[in-house]
Structure 1
């Protein structure tokens, strides 16, 4: 009845009211809408052109900064590594040339694997024209990149990154790939020994540019100083030349001060830019046409659907009743029921969007944290202020520092707790970090970097001693964890910096500090500034010497290998060497022992491969500290040695071979000591003794005798001042020339050089 009354009242409204309303508002509608449309579209057209060019300029600068940062990082890494002892021993051919080449090859491999964008690298030694890469060591004439090396030798080392060029290390095995190269002299200042070449594959730079480009509406091309194409969105022809797309438009061009390369960018489809320009003129006319069309529609709709306001309200009421019945499942006389239901739906959707926004904020915050540490993004003060919503640090900080907390014995932690408990305990660690910082009137930002490591960014006022505050905070967190939970952490503390851009340096220092955890132990603070350099445990060559001697003693069944084992690990502990060096020495330890055992009969090799080798590999993968590696290695080797000794006891000739070995070690100084002499002493033929010696100890009699004599000669050279000729006589060589020749063949240097 209400709806019927509404319609009846509407019919009584006169058309005069309709015309009065229409004629009153139409002129105002025309004037205001037309003026606003003209102003709006003119402003939008001009603003669109300016913003398109500004956005393209910012994008080009970001691309240039990303490329420059990546290449500069490779350059700095190469300069730092060239000055190490590994490079110097190879170029100047000091000590053991083969060992130096092996160590440098492994070093090059490590750099290629761990450094982003590096495709390959090699070293060229001028003295003998030899090329060393992670894969091979060949003369220059056999190397696939010979023409480039000859051009460098002929024209001099280029001062910057080269233009795009093809590179293939082994042309007969692999297809040439486009790279850009950087050459550094060795040594850095003189370059008298040779140089090192590092190659970056242009496809990796192109991927970097493509990842930054995102949607494909813009293009970026990079050109060398000579105009040659390096990489980018274009596809070069067979001669490496590119041309701007016929439909493209270039908006920005800038030159990198570091590489000298020119970055050109713009829109791939010029139609889009031209359309913007055209629309800036067409918009006013199009707006006016729309306004006229709207006015016509207003006249048409008003004339056709003339209804009083009361009729419209009646229809709204009827609709709300129907809709609320559908939603609520019951009839309602209140039209506000539908509105209430709609608001509830709207609030529910708003809560979902808010929750999704919070999840996205956490992801963005973690990404920003990683960018700060890695240095992949250069923050200017304005950008840092814009990210205030993401970072939890206070805005008044002007001193910064990085610490990394690594969970000790993480493999044991994972085996002890399920995933839910692991998450709760990690959340406890994160909460403790923030709560203790708040109690010290400071602010921290902590994010998990990996499953076992959490990075901590500190921000403090310059008036406070930042590094001391960081140490105090980490010490309190360590003490709290030790007293309240079942796991411990080790902190690596980097140096403090005064600029946000320098945070990667503090992060690198913190990582370097944690590298010393295997040597120093867990559940402690390791400050980068307090790390010693050099240690007191000797050089890596001395560790290798101990490993060689120990492996030989283990193979022939001498119990002295245990003393050598204890001495080597004592020296390693006193050296305070980083994690990577410990891993390399441990791997070389396993390699040397496996090589020595490989010289024994298969029954001994079977004991090694079943009992010892898997346990050594497991110890390498599951140990956090040097003490753990030492204990697990010692246990595995003891078990293996006992089984091998038991196997030797079952051999019929074991007692004879042991007596022969003892006789040699006591009478090695006899120049007449030979198989014939042993045959006379022990009453066996020389061929029987030779075969027995090889089966028992895995080497020939003459080789074992030479090692015994050389080891004793080395001891006398180190501990006495006797002349070389006299030492040779005392170890069984009647002629000094024979002694010197044999010593150099075994050790790689003359006795005089070894003594020095």
Structure 2
């Protein structure tokens, strides 16, 4: 007891430690989840702010370019130069002034790299980073020759062709200067994206026609997988990042619709810190799962299993108590007051106080269980009992009891107003179903007895004995029968007179002529007449079959035959060993058929020679005799006599001679005045030793012992 308490205390301590560890790990996991969620929110907010800052820079640039463009459109000198048809000396002065104004614009706007002015009238181009030249000689003439719009537009990233030194990547804004010229303002693309945060950030500038003007991507950003037209369609008005190709994407555009700015950064889930937190979360989850299993297993062992065992023990005891109560009610061991108290105590509820008992008897069940292993015996016994139990309990208001190893009784409450014949028919259908199931699955036959309906539970024991008596008639009704007590209630109350000896002789008479089929028909007719009578018993049926067997024995004796020689068994013991009337009937018919066949065979095989030899032996068996003596006396070959006797009698000359001599010795030994030696000489033996040996061979004891037994019986 102290050891159990110690184990319980240690178990509690370990359980508390596991719970504490589980709470600590859970708190750590929750903290990780919160940090992860907060980190994701911070990352998205930082990305949004960076995007907004860059959008602001791009808006300022676009506004600056627009300002420069408006300044140029308002320049009076530029307008006057544009309307000049040909270059002149006075035009050169204008060009110097225009050049100076353009340079001032460039110096005041660091992002502006150069300005190109094209005059349609003179077909010349003035570039701040290139000499004054004709359109045909200008390196970027395509800017002006391919322009056909009323308003200006942006041209995407490309290297600058005009100018001196190393060419730079530029973005160009081309717009008309009235009807007489065009202007191209070039922006340094490198300076435009100088504010790109780091390698984990990418940007894309898209024009109003959807074309990509320029991109800038860090080492961790893949801009090639993005499709600007889909991103523009998927733009979120709530300014929330779009998830595309494992990247966050933000899309913003100006109110004027000139530029659309797209920012890209890898999702935080791809970052090493995020992956590390994921690994920690997985480890924490696995640890939590393991701890939960340990806690559950330990708690179940310490608390749940004892409670469950207690419940199981209680339910099992309750079932046992109900079983014993039902058994005691059926066997009549409880008084009426005790029955009422037990019904209330065990919470029995039945719809009425009308009762009927069904008794199942499983044939050869003991031997069936004995052929199994010990564990299988208990399992099979329980399985068959539960099959019967639950079939009835789910269909009727009933409760079973195992009254004997091979017997299961069902106490059934018959509802008020239920027709008794209808109830019996329903019961028989249920019984037939169970009989078939048990026979199909276990190869066991089941007989059932049904009592009458009784009006009180106090008479349940009477109903049980009625069902028991009904089952006792299965030898007559058959091993698969369903027997109602009302059908056998009067059986066995009187001793009827068995058929007369003359009737038996008449029944067996056809056997003498080999008509065993006629015998079978007459036997079955007499048996049916016996069973149709109102009063009959098992003993009367057995007596009938015994008389028939005596009649068959009488027929064999009339033909000088021994029934034991024909069948080599005790026919009476064999008949009584069969339990059922049908089996007894079949055995008697087989016996009669064998006797009839043997008589006809013997009759057809006997001839004059055999008869002559047997008659001579019968007359001289108590004298010194041999095959040689018979051969010389009758003039028949001795070998032929020996062979013929074995064929006709089934044994040889010596054995036949000994049977006749010992048969005579049995009669002589009943006379106590005759000595054993005298009996030996009277039976034809040369020596007493030979007589004793042959006598013991046939009867298993000596002549003296046989005489002592005969005298003792007297």
Quickly name the TM-score band, shorter chain normalised: 0.3 to 0.5
Structure ranking higher on relative contact order (CA contacts 8 Å, 6+ apart): 1
Larger radius of gyration: 2
TM-score, normalising length from structure 2? 0.36
TM-score, normalising length from structure 1? 0.34
